[in-house]
Amino acid sequence: MPRVWQVACAGVDGFDGRWVIARTDGAPTGPDHTGLSTLTFTLADDATGVLEATADCEAVAVDVPLGLSVDAVRPCERAARARLPGAASSVFPAPARDVLLADDYQDACARSSAAAGKKISKQTWFLVPGIREFDRAVLDPTRVIEAHPELCFRAMSPGTMFAAKRTTRGQGARIAALATWSAIAQSLAELPAGPALDDVLDAAACAWTARRWVAGAAEVLGGEPDTFGRPMRIVV
C-alpha cells in the first residue's frame, strides 16, 4: 500500500526581485504519491523570508540554482536541456561562482570570462541577486532542492505539448496539468497581487516536485557537489 500522510511542501519562483511561494497541504496518494491537494500562495521579499515561511514544510523546491561550479559547467543543466526539445532555452545557464561577487554587469562579464571563458548574458545577470540570496542562506539539502518548472510540467503531464508559458494556450495547458493533483482553480481565485500568472503556475509546479521528493518518487539530474558541498542537481 502507498504511504499516506498529511504533508506540507512548497514550490518557489522569483518575480520582480521577490518570491512567490506555492504551498501544498494534503495526503499524497495514488500511483505517483501526488493526490489532490490544496494550494495556497504567499509572497516573500527575500530568501530569508522564503525559508521562514516554509520552515514547517517537509520539502521546498525552488527555481534557483542551489549549487554553483567554479567554471559555470553544471551537468544537470545539460541533462535538463536534453529533456526539453524546443524549450531548451528555458534552462538559463547558472553563472560561475565568482560572478556572485560582481558589483555590476561589466564586472560580472569580466569574472565570467576569467572563470568560464565567456561573458554572461544580461538575462543571467538579472538572476544573480536571487541566486546570491539562496547561496548565502543556510540550506538543508535534504529538504531544500532545486527544480525547473518546465521539466516539472512535462513530467506531470507527459502527453501534453506545452506552448510557451506566457501564452493563453500555454497557461491553459499548465492549469490543466496542475488540476490533475490540486485544487488550482480555487487557488487562482485567491492570488496575492504582484506575480504574473506564469510565475504562480511555475511555483505550483515546483511544489509538485517537492511532494515527489518527499514521497521518494522524484528523479534527480546531476548531483555533483560544488566547492561548498552543495549538490549541483535539478530534481524532477
Which residues 6+ apart lie within 8 Å of 176 measured at CB? 157, 160
Measured between alpha carbons, how far is 19 from 54 in angstroms, rounded to an integer? 12
| Helical (H) or strand (E) element with 11 | strand 7-15
Q: Grid coordinates standing for 71?
A: 567554471
* Residue 2, pLDDT score: 39
Q: Grid coordinates standing for 38?
A: 490544496
* Residue 7, pLDDT score: 81
* Residue 148, pLDDT score: 98
8 Å CB contact between 67 and 146: yes
8 Å CB contact between 11 and 209: yes
Measured between alpha carbons, how far is 112 from 20 in angstroms, rounded to an integer? 29
* Residue 25, pLDDT score: 86
**Residue 7: φ, ψ to 5°:** -140, 140
Q: What is the pLDDT along the chain (236 residues), one digit of tens a residue?
A: 334 346 899 999 999 999 999 999 865 444 544 456 889 999 999 999 999 999 999 999 999 999 999 999 999 999 999 999 999 999 989 999 999 999 999 999 999 999 999 999 999 999 999 999 999 999 999 999 999 999 999 999 999 999 999 999 999 999 999 999 998 988 999 999 999 999 999 999 999 999 999 999 999 999 999 999 999 999 99
Q: Grid coordinates standing for 222?
A: 546531476
Measured between alpha carbons, how far is 184 from 148 in angstroms, rounded to an integer? 19
* Residue 6, pLDDT score: 62
Measured between alpha carbons, how far is 211 from 26 in angstroms, rounded to an integer? 10
